[in-house]
Every structure is written in structure tokens, then in C-alpha cells.
Amino acid sequence: MGRSGRRRTVLRNKLGHFPARLLLAIALFSSISLTLAGCSGRSANVEDLLLGHGDFPNGEVTESNPLSTITPQGVSAVQVDLTGASFTLNQSIVMFQTQASALLVLAGIKQDQLAQRLLPTDTSKFEEASAILNETRGGQDFYTLFFVQGLALVKLTLSGQDAAAMLPVYAEMARSKVSRQ
């Protein structure tokens, strides 16, 4: 087997423990991120739903990598990274044409999360939400929550000091802002 064949086998073995739907969800958000990276224009309505500098007391965050696009399916997608003194928050929003479409994608994500490391969280304020997914990459913990609010599917990933405790706080901030759509 050639070198390329060994790489494929190793990759297949490493990804084999992840459920297909979770990989699909990650691929969807990754492809949206890549698509967003190639776009210079910003969708004014949807980008206004992202958390930003003004949503944090004393403006203690720096915004970076603001991205926006219209997907081939005709839905708006936006993303931003927010960095504070002790955390990094990535927020993505995909604005579907119907709430049923957003809920269908979230249902697939939730189904795939069943085999992952999850943290319980109070999601009673959300129309529909996933549990908090905990992943460790490069020795650092990342916590991710998906939720649907109206037509929006929102993904928040937080790393840093007290990330597990702070993700629900930032998720409520995002939910409140997206609910103004």
C-alpha cells in the first residue's frame, strides 16, 4: 500500500468512531465556513443577529473573521469569532427558509450527539436545542451548543476559562439577539 493509501486508512480509522450525521453536520458548518471565507460581502439582516463587540459589557471582545454568504440552497449563512481575555467564541448562523428545515437539521445533530460526550444544560428558554457537546482538541476543551430560534440554526463553540459554565450564558445572549429576527 502506498503512502497515500496509508493516510486514507488512518483517516478512516480515526473518523470511524464518529457517527455519520455528526460528521455531516460538521462538514456542513465547515463548508459554510469555507464558503463564507470566499465572500467579501456581508448579509446585513442576518449578520446583525450575530453577537458582537456591543453585546459585551465594556466591549471586552475583539471580532475577527466575519464571514457571510448565500449557500447554493439559497439560505443566508454568517459566522464570526469573538475573542475575550479568557475565551474564544465562534458563532455561526444559518437562516433557513422554514423553521421545519432548521429543526430537521438540528434533529440530525441531536441524534448524532447521543454517542458523544455531552453535558446537561437547561434549554427551556430555547425553541429547540442540543445538549452541550464537549470535545478535546490539542489538549484544549471546546464546548458546542446548537439551537433553533425562529428560522435560524445557531451554533456556538466556546473554549477558554470556565467555558462549560459560560456557554449557556453566551447562548442566552445569542438566543435573545436572534429572537429579534
Model pLDDT for residues 30-41, shown as the tens digit of each residue: 444 444 434 334
Annotation: CATH topology of 19-178: Protein Transport Mog1p; Chain A (3.40.1000)
What pLDDT, on the 0 to 100 scale, is given for residue 8? 41
List b or e across 18-42, with b for residues whose CB sees 16 or more CB atoms inside 10 angstroms.
eeebbeebeebbeebbebbeeeeee
Distance CA 19, CA 176 (A): 31
- Helices then strands, counting H and E runs in the chain, come out as 5, 8
> What stretches in the chain show pLDDT beneath 50?
3-18, 22-24, 26-27, 29-44
Q: Report the pLDDT value the prediction gives residue 176, as an integer from 0 to 100.
A: 92
Contact 125, 117 (CB under 8 A): no
What cell was used for 127?
Answer: 425553541
pTM (2 d.p.): 0.72
pLDDT at res. 43: 40
The residues spanned by each domain of the chain are 19-178
pLDDT at 9: 40
CB 113 within 8 A of CB 22: yes
